[in-house]
Amino acid sequence: MKGRLRLGVNIDHVATIRNARGGPHPDPLRAAAVAQAAGADGITAHLREDRRHMTDGDIERLVAEIALPLNLEMAATDEMLAIAVKHRPHAACIVPERREEVTTEGGLDAAGGRQGLEPVVGRLTEAGVRVSLFVDPDPAQLDAAAALGVPVIELHTGAYCEAFYEAGATAPATLGELDRLVRGAAHAEALGLECHAGHGLTFDNVTPVAAIPTVMELNIGHFLIGEAIFGGLDSSIKRMRAIMDKARADSLGSRTA
């Protein structure tokens, strides 16, 4: 399961800026095209219950018009399930969602919510959608994901990123959270799950996560869109791509030396 690390670019916050004023600009589809040209391997978009980011029309256009695989982030609700089955994106990542949260605050409780997740996972799978669960690096959650039959999990990197900025890159809290991610990725591999990761990753903190050899994809959005204000989306994606590639190459090189 080791190899090139894929980059999924989340374009939600292009839509957030557009929605702040209304109208068609900036267009998330244009961001998707720029991301593809800059080296992204996929596009991620979260269709929330309150439509604060992407709209139904955005999802319809993305499925119809972009060349890259679309990863639809969605809550496990009847409404979102119907939309996903209708449009059949390449993948759907089931995430926890609360209307009052600013952003996703933690991983999905796959262990406690298995009964409600089973029919959603089953219907998406029947529709040909590759299902992943966004979970914390907790063995119980990973075991539950495997029991649900999903092929992919995405590790929530938020706790690591918060520790990185609050305590520093080499602080015990940061290294402890990084170790949880390393062990979580290894546990996922042992269960036969493909491992992705994301949430809060930046130029400064991505290297240790990108170096985990069993992580196959990183999904990054808010930071890249923010950096685009200062240097352009093309530049921010290319720089992230270069940092990720170097981290993976250095990691694999150290293991074969």
Catalytic residue set: 46, 73, 199
Consecutive H or E run containing 109: none
The pairs formed by 13-20 with CB atoms below 8 angstroms and a separation of 24 or more are: 13/53, 13/221, 13/222, 13/225, 13/226, 14/225, 15/45, 15/53, 15/54, 15/55, 15/58, 16/52, 16/53, 17/225, 19/52, 19/53
Q: Is 149 left (phi over 0), alpha (psi -120 to 50) or beta?
A: left
Q: How many residues does the chain have?
A: 257
Q: Is 56 in a helix, a strand, or coil?
A: helix
Residue with tokens 């996703």: 104
